[in-house]
């Protein structure tokens, strides 16, 4: 899943809508009214907030950056800096980010 997200090929709302597999691109996790992008999932989605804080702590620990610097790292940077890989993979392992939406019964 890491590489699919890195290449913007993971099943997010935006991706699925673009290829005709979804009616809209809104976030199905938080039920929000914003597009489900990597930026949203890693920074703003209220459903994953605790995990977002953990990934930033992991990035800070791995890179030596202070909290403020971690909060401003751009998502493409997050996927391009090798030291951030483990924190991102831990985030993905702890969440369902990058997976297909849950089935509605």
| CB-count exposure of residue 8 (10 Å: 0-12, 13-18, 19+) | middle
Distance CA 61, CA 75 (A): 17
**Is residue 31 within 8 Å of 38, Cβ to Cβ?**
no
Residue 96: both structure tokens together: 């369902």
Q: Which residues pair with 105 in a beta bridge?
A: none
CA 84 to chain centre: 13
pTM of the model: 0.84
pLDDT digits (tens, 9 = 90+) for 2-59: 888 888 888 889 988 999 888 899 999 998 799 999 999 999 999 999 999 999 899 9
Q: Where are the domains of the chain?
A: 2-94
Q: What b/e readout covers 42-80, taking b as 16+ CB neighbours within 10 angstroms?
A: bbebebbeebbebbbebbbebbebeeeebeebebeebbe
């Amino acid at each position: 899943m890491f590489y699919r997200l890195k290449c913007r090929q993971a099943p997010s709302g935006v991706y699925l809508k673009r290829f005709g597999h979804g009616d809209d691109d809104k976030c199905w996790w938080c039920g929000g009214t914003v597009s489900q992008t990597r930026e949203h999932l890693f920074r703003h989605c209220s459903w994953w907030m605790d995990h977002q804080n953990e990934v930033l702590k992991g990035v800070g620990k791995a890179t030596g950056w202070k909290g403020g610097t971690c909060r401003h790292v751009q998502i493409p940077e997050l996927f391009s800096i090798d030291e951030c890989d483990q924190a991102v993979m831990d985030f993905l392992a702890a969440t369902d980010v990058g997976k297909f939406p849950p089935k509605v019964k």
